[in-house]
Amino acid sequence: MSQDTEAVRREIRQMHQSLAETSYYDLLGLQSGLDDAIIKQQATKEFRQLAKKWHVDRFSAHELGDDKKLVQEIFATINTAHQVLTDPDKRAEYDLQLSGANTDISSILTAENAFRKGQKMLETGAHAGAHEQFKIASENNVDDLEYKAHFLYTEYLLIQKNAEGTPLNRSRAQEIFKELDALSMELPDRDWLLTFMGVVSEGLGRTREAEGLFHQAMQHNPRNVEAKRHLRLMEMRKNKKKGFFAQLMDKLKPS
């Protein structure tokens, strides 16, 4: 056996052995809890690279013997990881397996279905309906921080606002921001959560903080439509204010 073939077979055996202790997320280099579209994009990109590396045809120049079967099993695991993580329902079940939680599966599925209904309602502006669905999701899976964050955010959206968009129940709005901020420590780099915090911060009049949060959200996900919309509106208000002061200064100039 050549040294090259020996090294290749050793790498195959090491990879196969590591699969038993490697989650699908780690295998594809992903974080859990990311946006569905981002997970699908990143998982597919990494899958293609790994599939190319571990396809059995790549080793045709080497006599693998029994290790050929290991390559096939590695490839099959990579394929399964991609299928599971790019399917929201399968991914939810896999997350439950990872947590090792002894939870009624029907409650988990009820929570996930309610959460997805809530997301669709939130996208269409049906805030009250979304809040109710997120409540169902949170009650059926109290450990899911993403559900809790959406429940808190829609609670803020339902707080009555004045003409300037400032929440009338300011103290509760401040509490919601603090709770979302605490969740962001557990769910770092989530663009949707940064956007939620930006909206609440903007409502509280903390414009500079809100703008920073929206920019952070865009850095993590340049396709974040909501963060982009808020930044555009903030820029329009700035320009309008500048225009007003420019007109005022013109009037004050001596003729």
Q: How far is CA 173 from CA 66, 75, 129, 154, 159, in A?
A: 63, 50, 20, 11, 8
Helices (H) and strands (E) in the chain, counts: 12, 0
pLDDT tens column, 4-51: 888 999 999 999 999 988 999 999 998 877 888 888 899 999 999 999
| 73, 98, 123 - which closes a domain | 98
**134 lies in the same domain as 157:** yes
Q: What is the pLDDT of residue 101?
A: 56
**158 lies in the same domain as 241:** yes
**67 lies in the same domain as 29:** yes
Q: Do residues 154 and 131 touch, judged by C-beta distance below 8 A?
A: yes
Q: What is the pLDDT of residue 61?
A: 86
| Residue 59 burial (CB count, 10 A) | 17
pTM for the whole structure: 0.58
**197 lies in the same domain as 149:** yes
Token representation of residue 14 = 């090491």
Q: What is the pLDDT of residue 102?
A: 47
Q: What is the CATH number of the domain that holds 92?
A: 1.10.287.110
> Which domain range does residue 28 map to?
3-98
- Per DSSP, what are the bridge partners of residue 155? none
Q: How many domains does one find in the chain?
A: 2
**18 lies in the same domain as 131:** no
pLDDT at 249 over 90: no
The DSSP letter of residue 165 is: S
**114 lies in the same domain as 223:** yes
Q: What is the pLDDT of residue 20?
A: 85
Q: What is the CATH number of the domain that holds 186?
A: 1.25.40.10
Query: Residue 53 CA to chain centroid, in angstroms?
Result: 28
Token representation of residue 231 = 């930044």
**26 lies in the same domain as 137:** no
Determine the straight-line distance between the first and last CA of the chain, rounded to whole angstroms. Answer: 96
Smallest CA-to-CA distance from 82 within 34, 25, 149 is with 25
| 98, 133, 156 - which closes a domain | 98
**128 lies in the same domain as 208:** yes
Averaged confidence pLDDT in the chain:
89
pLDDT tens column, 181-211: 999 999 998 999 999 999 999 999 999 999 9
Alpha carbons 53 and 28: distance in angstroms, whole number: 13
Q: How far is CA 133 from CA 115, 117, 122, 151, 155, in A?
A: 6, 7, 10, 8, 12
**118 lies in the same domain as 238:** yes
pLDDT tens column, 121-173: 999 999 999 999 999 999 999 999 999 999 999 999 999 999 999 999 999 99
**61 lies in the same domain as 90:** yes
pLDDT tens column, 63-75: 888 889 999 999 9
